[in-house]
């Protein structure tokens, strides 16, 4: 998929735009220079997007990537989203002010149940959609909802476009910038390989 950015909006075949009311002001002139990756921990894409666009929730991201690779932009890239919360990286804090947030349709950490694997919202997941891995911020293995190849490909295309347009220098997991609070995108996301492929 060929993507472009015009007036801080993604352009490309199939791109969906849904505006979220949840945002701060405009980025400063030297921002954004990083991307922070998240999983929604929700069981449906539509439910996650509705949540991110509900003014009562005071949370948002710039981009949502569905399991089929579909891309929904909810905020223009010149506006501060509310996705990183209390966060820090290399001496910088409050990273909402300098980062683009990307959310993946992914249930995250799962628990074993009698009929398979269950999310914290109660959704059921089959073994082929689950991996067992140790999170970098934990010591014991656990079960995690996997990411699809289509999601990784779309994320790579989006990030490559953001790098070219804004000079993005860092692609980080929420669990790297808020390690005491967050687990996303988790060990199912191939973050080191992803960064290496993009040269950041």
Do you find a cis peptide bond into 10, omega within 30 degrees of 0?
A: no
Q: Is 103 a catalytic residue?
A: yes
Side-chain half-sphere exposure of 130, counting CA atoms within 13 A? 19
DSSP 33-82: -EEEEEE---S-HHHHHHHHT-TTT----SEEE-TT--EEE-S-TTB--S
Dist CA 168 CA 166 (whole Å): 6
Q: Which of 6, 46, 103, 176 is catalytic?
A: 103
Dist CA 99 CA 15 (whole Å): 21
Q: Which of 106, 105, 197 shows the shortest CA–CA distance to 160? A: 197
Residue 173 vs residues 19, 107, 112, 137: alpha-carbon distances, Å: 24, 16, 25, 12
- If you search the block for the tokens 């290496």, which residue do you land on? 196
Q: Which residues are marked as active site?
A: 103
């Amino acid at each position: 998929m060929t993507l472009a950015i015009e007036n801080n909006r993604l352009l490309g075949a199939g791109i969906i735009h849904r505006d979220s009311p949840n945002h701060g002001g405009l980025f400063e002139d030297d921002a954004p220079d990083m991307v922070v990756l998240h999983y929604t921990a929700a069981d449906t894409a539509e439910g996650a997007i509705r949540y991110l666009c509900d003014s009562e929730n005071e949370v948002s991201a710039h981009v949502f990537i569905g399991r089929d690779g579909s891309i929904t932009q909810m905020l223009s890239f010149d506006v501060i989203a509310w996705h990183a919360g209390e966060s820090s990286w290399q001496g910088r804090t409050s990273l909402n002010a300098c980062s683009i947030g990307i959310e993946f349709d992914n249930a995250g950490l799962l628990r074993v149940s009698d009929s398979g694997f269950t999310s914290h919202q109660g959704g059921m997941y089959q073994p082929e959609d689950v991996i067992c891995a140790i999170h970098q911020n934990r010591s014991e293995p656990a079960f995690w909802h996997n990411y699809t190849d289509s999601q990784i490909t779309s994320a790579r295309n989006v990030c490559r476009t953001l790098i070219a347009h804004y000079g993005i220098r860092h692609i980080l997991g929420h669990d790297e910038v808020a390690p005491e609070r967050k687990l996303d995108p988790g060990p199912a996301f191939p973050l080191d390989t992803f960064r290496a492929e993009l040269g950041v």
